[in-house]
Each structure stands twice: as C-alpha cells, then as structure tokens.
Amino acid sequence: MIENTLLPTNQEVSNEDHTEIQPTVPLSLETLKKFQNDFYGDPKNELAQNVCTRFDPFEVAISRKKADCTLHNYNIKVESEGKPVTNQEHSGRCWLFAALNVMRLPFMKKYAIEEFEFSQSYLFFWDKIERSHYWLNNIVITAKEGEQLDGRLLNFLLKDPINDGGQWDMIVNLVNKYGVMPKKCFPESFSSKRSLHMNALIKTKLREYAKQLRDKVAAKASYEEIQATINKQIAVIYNIVATCLGTPPEKFTFEFYNKEKAYNSFGPLTPKDHDYRLVFNTEVQIGLEKKDRLLYGDSCMTHAMVFTAVGTDEQGNPLKFRVENSYGDKEYDKGYLLLTEPWFREFVFEVVIDKKYVPSEVLDVFKQEAIVLPAWDPMGTLACPVCSKE
C-alpha cells in the first residue's frame, strides 16, 4: 500500500486558523474494484478501450459527422499563399516559420518568384546567442537582488535556461538587429531540424555559468569583471551554436529564376538590406474553460501559424479559417489546417496584424502603462517549446 506522507490518515489536524481539516482517505481495494466493474458495465467503454489501445485517442475522438461537414472552402483569402509549405522538423521554431512565411509573400510578388523561403536557421542562430546573453544577465540581476537558490524566480530560470520557442516581440528584435537572408544562402543543418541535443549542451553550460556569476556577485566583483566574464561565456556558447548550425555569412548574393524563367541576381547584399511585415498565430491544447486552463497550468501558447483565408456567413461573421502550418505538406490539406470559429475563440491567445486594420479603441491600449507579468506567467510562454516531435 502507498502511504500518504502529506497528512496523517488516523487523526484530524488543524491549520493555523484552527479550521478543522479532514484526514486524507486512502483508496480501498473495494473502491477500485467498483471502478473496474462500472467501467466494464458499459459496453461502449470496452469498445473505446479496444480502439484507443491501438490508435491515437485524439484521432479516435474526432467526430466524423462534424469533420465531413467542414470543408476547405473559403470566400475570403489572401492574394496568394507562399510556396513551398515549410517544415520546422523536430524543432520548436514555429514562431520563426510563421513570421517568415508571411514576410516572404510581398518579396515573392515583387520579384515574381514561384517558390521561396527566408532562412529560418539564420534567425535561429542569432536567437540562441541573444537568448543566452539575456539569460546570463538575468542571473546576475537576480543575484544582486538577493534571490536565493531555492527562490521561485531563480528556480524558473534554471529549470529551462533555453528552448526553441518564441513570441512576436522576440522576432521583431531579431529582424531589426540582424535582418533576413534567403534560405539557400544559409540552409538547414541537422541541429536546426533536431535541436534537442544542441539545446542540452547549451543548457548545461548556462547552468554552469550561472554558478560562476552568482559566485562573483557574492564576492562583490565589479561590474566590469562580471561583464567580462559574461563575454567569455557567450564566446563559448557562440562556438557551440556555430559548430551545430554553421556560421551565417555577413554578405550574400541572391540568384534566382522568376516565373518567366528569367535569371536574376542581387548582391552582394547584407541580411539587413530588407524590411518586411511579420505575423503569427498560436495554438493550444484541449482543457478546461479558457481562463481556468491558464490559471491551472493546463493551457498556454504553444504554437504559431499563419492565417491565409476565412469563410464567413452572409452577415460577414467568420465561420472557419485556413491556417498555414510549418510541418511540411504531407499532413492535413497539403500542410494547411481548417480552424473553426468556436475553436478560434477557445484556443487562440494572440494574433498579430497590421495596425491599419486595428480599431482606434484597441490601439489606445498602447497609451496605458504596461503591466509587467512575472516570468512564470502563462502569457509569457514561448510558442513552440513543446512543438518538437522528438
């Protein structure tokens, strides 16, 4: 028998307010036997068991009646959808793919290119460097503020020093600082497609460096000494990332054939010679009510995708959306998903759109003082930390 070590089962206890707390009642064998008898008492449970032990229960639970009536037909679509359908493989880069999938559209239109991708690996490279630098500086800040090793904030930072996920403001900062380049000029690598082991190496080094920095803060090291230490540490992180992903070129020449099969060449260029608009969307898991799923840790922002079309009723109310994913064209409707309006309301948390489409009363929110949420708040979750198919 598994004993309950939280509360005694043979006596009543009281809390500080002297409110009576009832003892924990262990599960009896008789109760468990009743559960089993009740389960097999319904023939549908045995049928469901036979099916779900052989197939994915989420797939089994899809309503055939509803699925057959929901078709990929839309009355409002974007001018064009980018090709090819992209594939983030076994990584958590959906936020990068979603943003770059939208950025490529005006570029492809301007130069009459049939298929094109910006390099996701290029921004992935700089994200690893910037994220590690930011994390190490936060370790110093928390140490100077007296955060203990068992403190909640430090525990949060040490639990997962770095992952692949991200949000809108992060990609804005990356593009503004480093620009973009064609995928052909900085292609995928093994670790960009399967980032698990590269991330594990970086996490180990960051935790090691966290101790070094906290020791220096405790020893009253100067600001200059601490910054010099961080620079040395980031140099090692850079070497790890460059070894795994390759080193991004400072200049490149972009060569391509347009739709008329005419050869074109631009260059040499730098990654910051272009400026484009970025958009992404998110997807979350099934759970409780929307608010409660966030509060109880059952839901958070886990995926970013791109809207390309919407189906509306006669009054213009949305009924369904066409969504461009980033897992290749082998699944769903050649890589595109159908998202219903009820699903949108229940599971979408953030949408990034052009300001010119936003009502003035919504834009007025930016005039308010920002509320800084704690690091562990569910709204701070990075899109795609759980996207990886590893």
Calculate helix-pair angle for 94-110, 120-144, nearest 10 degrees: 140
Rg of the chain, C-alpha, whole Å: 26
Q: Which of 341, 342, 344 is nearest to 319 (CA)?
A: 341
Q: Is 199 a catalytic residue?
A: no
Name the nearest CA neighbour of 350 among 289, 284, 275: 284
Q: Which helix (H) or strand (E) holds 310?
A: strand 303-312
Verify whether residue 325 is a known catalytic residue: yes
Say which of 94, 244, 384, 387 is annotated catalytic. Answer: 94
Dihedral over alpha carbons 152, 157, 159, 164 (to 10 degrees): 140
Q: How many residues does the chain have?
A: 390
Residue type, position 160, single letter: D
Count of beta carbons in the 10 Å neighbourhood of residue 371: 5
CA dihedral 232, 140, 158, 133 (to 10 degrees): -40
Q: For residue 41, which amino acid is it?
A: G
Catalytic residue among 281, 325, 384, 387: 325
Q: Are 325 and 305 in contact (CB under 8 A)?
A: yes
Q: Is 90 a catalytic residue?
A: no
Catalytic-labelled residue, pool 101, 244, 303, 387: 303
Task: Name the amino acid, one letter, at 7.
Answer: L
Contacts of 285 (CB under 8 A, 6+ apart): 298, 299, 302, 347
Distance of CA 306 to the CA centre of its chain: 13
Rounded to whole angstroms, the Cα distance separating 158 from 151 reads 11
- Cβ atoms 140, 217 nearer than 8 A: yes
Q: How far is C-alpha 110 from the chain's CA centre? A: 30
> Smallest Cα–Cα separation from 365: which of 375, 379, 378, 355?
355
Please give the positions annotated as active site: 94, 303, 325
